[in-house]
Amino acid sequence: MDGLAEPAYAKINLTLDITGRREDGYHTLRSVLQSISLCDRVFLFSAESGTVTVECDAADVPCGAENTVLRAAGAFFRRSGVCGGARFKIQKRIPRRAGLGGGSTDAAAALRLLNRFFGARLSARELRKIGLEAGADVPFCVEGGAALAEGVGELLRPLPGLPPCTLVICKPEAGVPTAEAYAAFDRSGRPGDVFTGAMLQALRAGALSAVASRLGNAFESVCGLPEVRGVRDRLLACGALGACMTGSGSAVFGLFDSECRASRCANALRAEYPVCFLCRPVGRICV
């Protein structure tokens, strides 16, 4: 059988609220997630039964036991009852340590590929359960689109997606590890559920201006990265209706109602921030 290929779409957090902390140390959240057209590409080829390997064209992506594709594939074979092997290749475009879910979406694409490659016929719900073993964002990335995520990210409710728009995604070089971001939030004593309720109303209304005015991320104010504030201010000055950091950062996105303005903004930003992309919202993936 020849290899299969699958796009792995990045995600942004239109909102991210931290709602508590469980006894096991994991934080609970309430977040509105949206898939975007920026994507990696994951390839699956046959391999000797019991063998799973991962290769990537980006030197800074670990391909050993910590790789999310490897973890997801291992969980698939354990949980599905399928006997087989797999060789994965990843073409990387989503930047790492950006809050864009690059590792999670690669793992979700790997699960979709395995399901198709081996004819396992697992439902999206079953793939989400398997994906949670590889990471908290993987269940959302299995189908993508737009969704309200709760719990540690595994409780999902589909939502109306972003109205038609163009996004500029810009990642400054600076960043904060996710564990440090959570620790900074814990120290801040800030309230944990302030953004998402208003965003749900805005998405139901369907007006881009309303959505853009209700973006919010609990990490953005506590991590205090000057580069993030600088990128956000540049996006707004270029005509973005709203701008916000995604995940634990450090990528920042801006929502534009004009593709021309968005393109001019991206070109201007690239002079200082080379990791800058134009993209659009993406709907749900059929599993």
Taking residues 49-77, report their average pLDDT: 95
Is 2 a residue whose pLDDT tops 70? no
Beta-sheet pairing, 242-245 with 276-279: unpaired
User: Does the pTM of the predicted model rise above 0.75?
Assistant: yes
What is the set of domains in the chain, with CATH numbers? Answer: 4-158 (3.30.230.10), 166-279 (3.30.70.890)
Q: What's the maximum distance between 2 C-alpha atoms anywhere in the chain?
A: 55
Q: Kindly give, in sequence order, each residue whose CB lies less than 8 Å from that of residue 170, ignoring residues fewer than 6 positions away.
A: 231, 234, 235, 251, 252, 253, 254, 266, 269, 273, 275, 276, 277
Q: Would you state the pLDDT for residue 3? A: 82
Is 1 a residue whose pLDDT tops 50? no
Q: Would you state the pLDDT for residue 17? A: 95
In which band, very low, low, confident or very high, does the pLDDT at 261 lie, cut at 50, 70 and 90? very high
Per-residue model confidence as pLDDT tens digits over 20-51: 888 887 889 999 999 999 999 999 999 999 99
Tokens 């949206």 correspond to 34
Is 207 a residue whose pLDDT tops 80? yes
In which band, very low, low, confident or very high, does the pLDDT at 179 lie, cut at 50, 70 and 90? confident
Per-residue model confidence as pLDDT tens digits over 113-165: 999 999 999 999 999 999 999 999 999 999 999 999 999 889 999 999 999 99
Active-site residues, by number, are 11, 137
Taking residues 214-226, report their average pLDDT: 86
Taking residues 76-93, report their average pLDDT: 96
In which band, very low, low, confident or very high, does the pLDDT at 191 lie, cut at 50, 70 and 90? low
